[in-house]
Amino acid sequence: MDFGRAKQLIEALRTNLGIVVKGHESSIDLLVVAIIAKGHVLLEAVPGEGKTLLATALAASIDGITAGRISGQPTLKPSDLLGAEIAGQSGTGFELLKGPIFNNVVLFDELNRTDPRTQSALLEAMQEYQVTIGDTSYALPQPFHVIATQNPLSHEGTWELDAAAKQRFLVRIEWSFSPREVEFKIAREASSFLKENLERIVPVTTRDELVAIQNLVQEEIELSDAIIHLMNAITVATRRTNPSYPADALEAAGIGRDVISEVGGASSRATSFWPPLLRAHAFFNGRTKVVPYDVFATAVPLLNHRLETNYPTDTRQLINVILAERGYAYASPA
């Protein structure tokens, strides 16, 4: 598959999602970029803003893709997610009864309502693309993407995602309320029934084409050493033990010089996750090489769930102070 054909298919996919999901243009763009980068996505928003519709429309837009949905509940057990081995009909051996994790796109609603045991069961799937049931490991279908949601306004009956769980997500998207004019359009055009909305979606690409696009982007989009140095300079600047940590700038911004905990900076995993995201972002914007703009445009969604702070703070503002020290005001798409 060549670059032009791949870009045409991704543009058709993005247009398809915009048919039923209104008012979240940049968030939809970022979701598509994360999928191109073979990543998992954490959506944070109040209920009723179209998160479930978006994930389901994504699967409906790709022929050959299967979708599964998991509703996070305190009573959810790992076996409800993964499945179980049951006695075979012949009475000799066991058969696998697959859980909803065995789908290409898995929507996990309100992940933070599940207990740590179930969250841990999800980690292997997200990191290793396999699950272990009993003594046997089973490979998951490819491509495999988890789109998890959590409600930031409800804390009763929830467990805070630990650092290991959060870092398995390539990006965290903050899904805001729709503007009034968009809500008017939603009320006039859309249906409140998920099935009726999805009937407006027809597949615009295939599973094999998506895999080919993902591979093309990681193999063909140029990422120079200069860009890697810039990316690395940002990640190490989030660590209080590093000389480049902008303590004075954070103090001047009213955030506080000790806002990030001693071990709460971006880990090496963030550094390793960033290049695929950069290549995907460059491709999505029609370029064959990564430029500084891609670094600064993806920094907040990549880092906003990876920094551990000593007290509540505006994480976007915190990251922007760090980016300003790296000269982001001078970066442009050109």
CATH of residue 185:
3.40.50.300
Which of 52-61, 189-198, 251-260 reaches the highest mean pLDDT?
251-260
Within this chain, do residues 39 and 158 fall inside the same structural domain, yes or no? yes
CATH of residue 236:
1.10.8.80
* Residue 334, pLDDT above cutoff 60: no
Within this chain, do residues 123 and 23 fall inside the same structural domain, yes or no? yes
Within this chain, do residues 185 and 235 fall inside the same structural domain, yes or no? no
Say which range, 171-185, 274-288, 290-304, has the weakest mean pLDDT.
171-185
Count up the domains in the chain and report the number: 2
Per-residue pLDDT band at 330 (split at 50, 70, 90): very low
Within this chain, do residues 163 and 242 fall inside the same structural domain, yes or no? no
Amino acid at 252: A
**215 in a domain, yes or no?**
no
Residues 91-136 pLDDT 10s: 666 778 888 999 999 999 888 888 888 888 888 889 899 988 877 8
What range defines the domain where residue 231 resides?
221-327
Amino acid at 199: E
Per-residue pLDDT band at 283 (split at 50, 70, 90): very high
Residues 17-27 pLDDT 10s: 988 887 778 88
Q: Phi and psi at residue 23, in whole multiples of 5°?
A: 85, 10
Looking at residue 20, its pLDDT comes to 81
Within this chain, do residues 157 and 62 fall inside the same structural domain, yes or no? yes
Q: Above pLDDT 70, what percent of the chain?
A: 84
